[in-house]
Amino acid sequence: MLVLGVETSCDDTAAAVWDDGTVRANVVSSQDELHEEYGGVVPEVASRDHQRLVVPVVQRALEDAAVDAAALDAVAVTHGPGLPGSLLVGLSFAKAFAQGLDVPLVGVNHLEGHVYSVDLDPPAPDRPFLCLIVSGGHTELVRVGSDFQHDVLGRTRDDAAGEAFDKVAQLFGLGYPGGPAIDRRAARGAPTFQDFPRSRLDDFDFSFSGLKTSVLYYLRDRSDAERERLLAEHLDDLCASVQAAVVDVLVDAVRHAVGETDAEQVAVVGGVAANSSLRRRMEAVGDDTGIDVSVPDLAYCMDNAAMIAQAGAQRLAAGHASPPTLDVESNLQL
């Protein structure tokens, strides 16, 4: 089955061609530079840019895959959660495209797409497995069963892990998105330089807003000269300290959940799963505990349409095609 995946939930315009489990093309056009001067995604700017990019990005994917649109069997598209104006561009395009080709349309939950990204990079975990979804908008610990049963064990009560990286990076003057910049600098810094808070909540819920506030106060409570010196001489150390705080919390939660649920397989997905320290530490969890740990290839951690096509194809196989009245759901949950 040949499936076109389309993803426009935030600031990346993405299209992919999926061919029975093989990704034949995976095109992502990032708007990072557009949003950098604002320190985050500006919804109006994002939706306009999706409108400009969606057709050329889909064309590029079809060309890369050497596939004629007429050969497609289905179109899978993200219909939530995300920015309403951004989702609407992808969904409107996908509806019209599917209708023009007279093929089924399937709406995909963006978070389910991230979960299914583990199947793109074999060996895919058997169900059930424990999945940590960590992105710019979400931090959720989920037990993934078969037949699209997702049991949410916990989620963030305030900021997402990626949001914490992005907000702290802004305080450090590192631009947007902040995760990759912090990751690169942290590799050269000392994680013990400053002890930033690691919030541990009773259940499997997360909280990262305290970390951002703590960094804010750490910088604010110093003289201008001292702050400048710290940022000039110890930025790598500060990045390493922040990264250690976020990664400690995530790894602890996974270890705890493994103990509580007898999970035999764990996956970490989403943009923050690209973090080099988190990847290393999760590998170590696998080595210590003997459980299988899957972390997708970097290209499938960040927002992409291959994961949307993968999840959509599974849904179609289970008879879950969407009606032409499918609408965006900006607050869609798992």
Return residues touching ligand KG4 (CB under 6 A).
10, 135-137, 162, 165-166, 177-180, 183, 270-272, 274-275, 302-303
Exposed, middle or buried: residue 228 (CB in 10 Å: 0-12, 13-18, 19+)? Answer: exposed
- Minimum Å gap between C-beta 311 and ligand KG4 is 14
**Could you tell which of ligand KG4, Zn ion, none binds residue 183, using a CB distance below 5 to 8 A set by kind?**
ligand KG4
CA distances from 150 to 53, 111, 128, 144, 145 (A): 33, 11, 9, 5, 6
**3-state SS, residue 293:** strand
Our CB check for Zn ion shows the closer of 72 and 142 to be: 142
Burial 154-179 (b: 16+ CB within 10 A, else e): bbbeebbbbbbbbbbbebbebbbbbb
The label of the residue with tokens 């990346």 reads 12
Find tokens 């949307």 and name the residue: 308
**Judged by CB, which is closer to Zn ion: 118, or 235?**
118
265-269 and 292-294 as β-strands: parallel, antiparallel, unpaired?
parallel
Give the C-alpha separation, 168 to 330, whole Å: 26
Which partner, Zn ion, ligand KG4, none, binds residue 240 by CB below 5 to 8 Å per kind? none
What's the closest the beta carbon of residue 179 comes to ligand KG4, in angstroms? Answer: 2
- 135 near Zn ion (CB under 5 A): yes
303 part of the interface to Zn ion, by CB under 5 A: yes
Least separation in angstroms between residue 323's CB and ligand KG4 is 26
Nearer to ligand KG4, 183 or 237 (CB): 183
Q: Which is nearer to Zn ion, 253 or 305 (CB)?
A: 305
C-beta closer to Zn ion: residue 113 or 191: 113
By CB under 5 A, name the binding residues for Zn ion. 135, 303
